[in-house]
Structure 1
Amino acid sequence: MSGFPGGTAVSLVTVYNWPTVDGQAGGSPHLHTASTEGYVVVSGTGAVETLSGNGYERRDLARGTVLWFTPGTVHRLVNGSGDLQVVVVMQNAGIPEAGDAVFTFPEATLADPEAYLAAATAPAAPGLSEGERGEATRARRDLAIDGYLALRERVETEGPTAMRPLWDRAAQIVASRTGTWRGLWADGPKAQADATGAHLDALAKAEAAHLCDAHVGDAGDAAAKWGMCGRLETWDLRP
């Protein structure tokens, strides 16, 4: 068995302290289409706003808070104290990095594949300075906030059924990527689960061959990135 336990990915997020049009600071609202995401708050205070089958909810965050949300849940991190840091544990390592997230851009942008791609990938454009990447990330965040606030208002008025158009758009946006995702899943999370099954079979027979392969993994130094919710420190934890 190789790769980080459970075929998961781990990152440290320092949530953006950029203010938004509604007076709150934070990152870009978005959803994941194939992966559950978990938070472990390590410092600071704030909140996470979500839109899901439960409608609109807001949960306070402080050191020691642990929560998670399933695919399709729109989430927006709000930095209340200015120093909110969260360890993020992502299901299906490799799939989120391969584009399983969809931003809550306004409907006109979501409906135009070229416009959506341009807005979603603007911070990664070649030739940008570090400062320019930060500016592009903030502009992307602001566009996602515009769409999110309109969606949140509809959800509060109409209930969770107002989410369906976004979920349909999200499925359309990622449909062509799923072939790549299936390979990442097979080589990572599924392979680990299958390995555990084989280990249990062996242990039931008092066979210890897999224990002879005991070793320690080391992810090495973290890479710094401009993320959706904040500045990221990430590690490559795949096999």
Structure 2
Amino acid sequence: MNLPNGVGVSGLEVYPWAASDGCHGGSPHLHTACTEAYVVVGGRGELHTLTPAGPGTTPLLPGTVVWFTPGTVHRAVNLGDLRVVVIMENSGLPEAGDAVLTFPPEILADPAAYAEAASLGPEPATSPAAERRARARRDLAVRGYLAIRRDLAAGDPSSLRELYRAAVSLTTARTAAWHRILDAGPAASLREVRRRLRCLADGSGAHLAEANVRMRTAPEPDQRPFGMCGRLSPYQAT
């Protein structure tokens, strides 16, 4: 059974690693189909974003809830023990390649080079080798991100448009498979709610007899994989 409305939920401890510009945090990227939300549960930080309107900064403090739609380039910056709960629309699509990192243009233009740069390698996702690759991936994404941010700050959106074109090119072939994920997740959840409404409308309330409680636990600290923005504690959807 999916989590409510087919959403994905993960705990996230944002990386404390310093980047070339002095900011500590994760890999800038965008999502091509999903809206993402942060619920800040500890520490402090900032969400740095790039959109056609220009660069933006949102303070992240305990109790903050912020969400951003597809096409928003976002970077989680850790100012001290930043911990968030990530709520992701369309559970499963990010893992299926909905996210695109802000690598330099020459890498975005080459699908094989992009796949190599984005990969954490064949080692276990919690291994020191995976950490080294996660750091290198973050640094490469920051390099591309800073160039786009400079252009936007100067009033030139062309590099952001180029990123969008590259993101579409990298993900177009995946969309057929994404429909199957949507059918099994959000669409199935909507069908179930409609069934419940029919049970109420016909006066039977039959669905109430199906009441149950389900639980998911987070992985142990040493089993948290290296994600784009930090160490992840994913809650499996099924």
Does the TM-score normalized on the shorter chain lie above 0.5? Answer: yes
Instruction: Describe how 1:73-222 pairs up with structure 2 within 5 A.
Output: 73-81=72-80, 83-121=81-119, 123-126=120-123, 130-160=127-157, 162-222=159-219
Structure 1: runs of 5+ lacking an equivalent: none
Which range moves more in the overlay, 197-206 or 140-149?
197-206
CA deviation map 1:19-61 (0-9, x unaligned): 0111110000000111110000010011000011332100111
TM-score scaled by length of structure 1: 0.93
CA spacing shift, 1:127–1:237, aligned 2, 3 Å: closer
For the residue of structure 2 that corresponds to 1:225, the secondary structure is coil
Structure 2: runs of 5+ lacking an equivalent: none
The number of aligned residues is 235
Percentage of matched positions with identical amino acids: 45
Q: Which amino acid aligns with 2:233?
A: E
Which range moves more in the overlay, 143-152 or 220-229?
220-229
Is the Cα contact below 8 Å between 1:36 and 1:91 reproduced in 2?
Answer: yes
Q: How large is the Cα RMSD of the aligned pairs?
A: 1.6
Structure 2 CA distance for aligned equivalents of residues 69 and 228 of structure 1: 16
Q: Which amino acid aligns with 1:4?
A: L
Instruction: Describe how 1:38-53 pairs up with structure 2 within 5 A.
Output: 38-53=37-52
Q: Which amino acid aligns with 2:185?
A: G
Is the Cα contact below 8 Å between 1:55 and 1:159 reproduced in 2?
Answer: no
Which range moves more in the overlay, 135-144 or 215-224?
215-224
For the residue of structure 2 that corresponds to 1:45, the secondary structure is strand
For the residue of structure 2 that corresponds to 1:124, the secondary structure is coil
CA spacing shift, 1:102–1:187, aligned 2, 3 Å: same
Following superposition, the deviation at residue 205 of structure 1 comes to: 2.2
Following superposition, the deviation at residue 219 of structure 1 comes to: 2.1
For the residue of structure 1 that corresponds to 2:150, the secondary structure is helix
Structure 1 CA distance for aligned equivalents of residues 6 and 34 of structure 2: 11
For the residue of structure 2 that corresponds to 1:48, the secondary structure is strand
Structure 2 CA distance for aligned equivalents of residues 11 and 236 of structure 1: 9
Structure 2 CA distance for aligned equivalents of residues 71 and 191 of structure 1: 22
Is the Cα contact below 8 Å between 1:47 and 1:79 reproduced in 2?
Answer: yes
Instruction: Describe how 1:1-40 pairs up with structure 2 within 5 A.
Output: 2-40=1-39
TM-score scaled by length of structure 2: 0.94
Is the Cα contact below 8 Å between 2:26 and 2:229 reproduced in 1?
Answer: yes
CA deviation map 1:73-124 (0-9, x unaligned): 100000012x110100001111111111000000011011111010011x13
Q: Name the counterpart of 1:57.
A: 56
Following superposition, the deviation at residue 179 of structure 1 comes to: 1.6
Which range moves more in the overlay, 180-189 or 156-165?
156-165
Is the Cα contact below 8 Å between 1:221 and 1:235 reproduced in 2?
Answer: yes
Following superposition, the deviation at residue 220 of structure 1 comes to: 3.9
